Amino acid sequence: QVELVESGGDSVQAGGSLRLSCAASGFPYSTYCMGWFRQAPGKEREGVAVIGSDNITKYAESVKGRFTISQDNANKIMYLEINSLKPEDTAMYYCAADQFVYGSDYDCTPDITLVMDYRGKGTLVTISS
């Protein structure tokens, strides 16, 4: 049974930094796409970043340069580092994961996080100005 558990959300002031973590268990797939999406109050969900089993990363235009996604394969943890935090980054952040067949036309992009097979329950990030 796949389980994704996020942590690291906090209330911080604008300009600061946070590192979110996503611990994955029961995820045995060798070809996968994992990532983060967020949902701000009253707004639609937004995919922000993905990382593949090949370590290729992609970001939404709105977060490029401030967000960094990475993974620790040995410990099965995915991270999202957020720098220069802005009030508009306030949202619930979710990690998500998908597996796919090697050689298929699966497109690992931030938008795909919204429909991935597995997702966590989220961690809340609140930024004050």
Q: How many CA atoms lie within 13 A of 57 on its CB side?
A: 16
The per-residue pLDDT for 92 is 98
The answer for residues whose C-beta is within 8 angstroms of residue 91's C-beta and 6 or more apart is 38, 39, 40, 41, 43, 46, 124, 125
Residue 84 gets which letter from DSSP? S
The per-residue pLDDT for 16 is 96
The per-residue pLDDT for 125 is 98
pLDDT by residue, tens only, the chain of 129 residues = 999 999 999 999 999 999 999 999 998 888 899 999 999 999 999 999 999 999 999 999 999 999 999 999 999 999 999 999 999 999 999 999 999 888 888 899 999 999 999 999 999 999 999
